[in-house]
């Protein structure tokens, strides 16, 4: 599941079982960690492995596979020295043993440069593909050859020092994201907008983030303890930033290099803080003066959000214990038998929830009564003080989901439904430390369709609409299935999105490690 593998830069054929629909024409691109050691040094956290890009090229019912390591500065420098020289999320690079004792001592006092090991996702800005993580660096890549292109520093374009790996896209082709900034005025969460591609973009073979601007800067509730975030919410007219009680201790952050601690040690789960939802008008950049509050929870991935009769409905995967983020050490996830079961049973289950924000709150809004009037909606929102709304969520599932262990990695028919009312989402079920099922959830009925086989571990499902689709779930779901019991038998699975029946699979004759996120690129 978590192993170092060789890259496959020249596309190889796969063995097709069943049928791959001939209308699928493009590339399924995936990202994730693929190398966990250099020389005698080994990473301690799963997130730290060197980024490996994968491409399944689908055309006329056949599939080829290729993969490449991202030639990040981190990868190149580690390879040259044959040891870990760049610190990652959970692994601290140790000082060079060849330096004398004074140089080694002082090297601890240098603030480490952020990594450009962009192992989380493929993202698009102005029509170009980049691979992204959660630092200020991205790498532009060629989506066909998987060749690494230039390194892009967000802070050269805009006053932020990081960006998420989960941007949103509007129907005009603009890209929205979130980034931090901090200075004398405090710590801010910034909403960024990168404009759509223009006529000159097509002729340039270079990174282009010109025109990027900060739409809104949201001040952190606790200036010395800003919240960690992995993604954000976007509907047709609003962006919602969720300030959750996973806190980054900035003083610890400054000291962590000196103390010899890795980055994930500066993040703490602090449930004494409530969850704050910051509502921002996507067109004007204006932040609502109303504070929307909820009980402490953590969320990594949002499912979808839409407006309905004066309410903003937000669906997301949530947990009640944010300690989990530092737990995915290689030591934990490489345990076996009872030890692995014990680790799995200690983890929090992530489940789908719905929160509803009333959009028309003013002085006249009555206190202490539920304002949510949507049909069949169990979520509540109550004005508890002037300018404050307290919300409780609705569980977006019934007990059936619990036997599949909760869910994560949600995906929708994004092109059709992002920011709009929708009915279906697809996700991974977590009956194991690694996902062991694929789920299709109907948010109207809370009923599930399931694909699950013992010993097979699916990755994030990605929906691809059929060319003449009339309904929301008319298309296929693609997922890469890892088979740890058998070497070199990983396969690309193609499910009918409507029925969740298997249509076909493309078996790859090389070992592929468990990855993070992916996209379908229609251009091929």
**Tens digits of pLDDT across the chain (524 residues):** 678 999 999 999 999 999 999 999 999 999 999 999 999 999 888 888 999 999 999 999 999 999 999 999 999 999 999 999 888 877 777 655 555 544 444 444 445 568 899 999 999 999 999 999 988 999 999 999 999 999 999 999 998 888 999 999 999 999 999 999 987 888 999 999 999 998 776 677 889 999 999 999 999 998 888 999 999 999 999 999 999 999 987 777 767 656 656 666 678 899 999 999 999 999 999 999 999 999 999 999 999 999 999 999 999 999 998 776 666 666 766 777 788 778 777 777 899 999 999 999 999 999 999 999 999 999 999 999 999 999 999 999 999 999 999 999 999 999 999 999 999 999 999 988 889 999 999 999 999 999 999 999 999 999 999 999 999 999 999 999 998 777 778 999 999 999 999 999 999 999 999 899 999 999 75
Task: Give the C-alpha separation, 107 to 97, whole Å.
Answer: 11
Q: Which residues pair with 144 in a beta bridge?
A: none
CB 391 within 8 A of CB 381: yes
In-domain check, residue 3 = no
Residues in CB range of 100: below 8 A, 6 or more apart: none
Task: Give the C-alpha separation, 504 to 22, whole Å.
Answer: 12
Q: Which residues are annotated as a binding site for Fe cation?
A: 166, 230, 301, 517
Tell me which residue has tokens 């390591």: 69
In-domain check, residue 2 = no
Q: What is the pLDDT of residue 167?
A: 96
Q: What is the pLDDT of residue 105?
A: 43
In-domain check, residue 479 = yes
Residues in CB range of 401: below 8 A, 6 or more apart: 351, 352, 407, 429, 439, 441, 448
Task: Give the C-alpha separation, 409 to 302, whole Å.
Answer: 9
Tell me which residue has tokens 């998420």: 164
Burial state string for 173-186 with b = 16 or more CB within 10 A and e = fewer than 16:
ebbbbbbbbeeeee
Helices (H) and strands (E) in the chain, counts: 6, 37
Instruction: Report the alpha-carbon angle 486-143-125, nearest 5.
Output: 125
Q: What is the pTM of this model?
A: 0.92
In-domain check, residue 390 = yes
Range of the domain at 143: 8-521
Tell me 338's DSSP state: H
Q: How many domains does the chain have?
A: 1
CB 231 within 8 A of CB 207: no
Q: Which residues are annotated as a binding site?
A: 166, 230, 301, 517
Write down how long the chain is.
Answer: 524
Closest CA to 473 of 500, 437, 502: 500
Burial state string for 398-425 with b = 16 or more CB within 10 A and e = fewer than 16:
eeebeebbbbbbbbbbbeebbbbebebb
């Amino acid at each position: 599941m978590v192993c170092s593998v060789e890259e496959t830069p020249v596309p190889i054929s796969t063995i097709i079982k069943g049928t791959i629909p001939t209308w699928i024409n493009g590339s399924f691109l995936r990202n994730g960690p693929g190398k966990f050691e250099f020389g005698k040094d080994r990473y301690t956290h799963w997130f730290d492995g060197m980024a490996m890009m994968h491409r399944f090229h689908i055309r006329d019912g056949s599939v080829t596979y290729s993969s490449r390591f991202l030639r990040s500065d981190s990868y190149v420098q580690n390879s040259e020295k044959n040891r870990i020289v760049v610190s990652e999320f959970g692994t601290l690079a140790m000082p060079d043993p060849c330096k004398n004792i004074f140089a080694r001592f002082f090297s601890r006092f240098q603030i480490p440069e952020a990594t450009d090991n962009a192992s989380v996702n493929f993202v698009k800005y102005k029509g170009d593909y980049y691979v992204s993580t959660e630092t200020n660096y991205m790498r532009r890549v060629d989506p066909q050859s998987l060749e690494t292109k230039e390194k892009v520093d967000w802070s050269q374009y805009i006053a932020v020092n990081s960006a998420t790996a989960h941007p949103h896209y509007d129907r005009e082709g603009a890209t929205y994201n979130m980034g931090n900034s901090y200075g004398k005025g405090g710590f801010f969460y910034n909403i960024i907008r990168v404009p759509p591609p223009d006529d000159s973009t097509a002729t340039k073979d270079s990174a282009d983030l010109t025109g990027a601007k900060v739409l809104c800067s949201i001040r952190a509730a606790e200036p010395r303890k800003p919240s960690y975030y992995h993604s954000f919410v976007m509907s047709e007219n609003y962006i919602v930033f969720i300030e959750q009680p996973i806190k980054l201790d900035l003083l610890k952050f400054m000291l962590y290099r000196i103390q010899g601690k890795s980055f994930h040690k500066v993040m703490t789960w602090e449930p004494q803080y409530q969850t704050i939802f910051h509502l921002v008008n996507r067109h004007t950049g204006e932040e609502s003066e109303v504070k929307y509050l909820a009980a402490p929870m953590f969320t990594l991935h949002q499912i979808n959000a839409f407006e309905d009769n004066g309410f903003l409905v937000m669906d997301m995967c949530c947990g009640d214990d944010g300690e989990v983020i530092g737990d995915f050490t290689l030591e934990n996830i490489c345990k076996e038998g009872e030890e692995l079961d014990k680790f799995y049973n200690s983890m929090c289950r992530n489940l789908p929830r719905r929160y509803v924000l009333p959009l028309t709150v003013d002085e006249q809004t009555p206190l202490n009564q539920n304002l949510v009037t949507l049909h069949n909606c169990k979520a509540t929102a109550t004005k508890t003080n002037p300018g404050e709304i307290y919300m409780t969520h609705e569980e977006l599932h019934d007990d059936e989901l619990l036997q599949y262990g909760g869910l994560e990695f949600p995906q929708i028919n994004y092109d059709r439904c992002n920011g709009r009312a929708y009915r279906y989402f697809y996700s991974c079920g977590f009956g194991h430390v690694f996902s062991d099922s694929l789920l299709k959830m109907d948010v109207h009925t809370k009923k599930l369709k399931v694909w699950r086989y013992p010993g097979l571990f699916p990755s994030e499902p990605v929906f691809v609409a059929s060319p003449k689709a009339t309904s929301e779930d008319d298309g296929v779901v693609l997922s890469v299935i890892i088979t740890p019991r058998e070497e070199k038998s990983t396969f690309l699975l193609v499910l009918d999105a409507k029925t969740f029946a298997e249509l076909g699979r493309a078996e790859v004759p090389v070992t592929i490690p468990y990855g993070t996120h992916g996209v379908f690129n229609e251009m091929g």
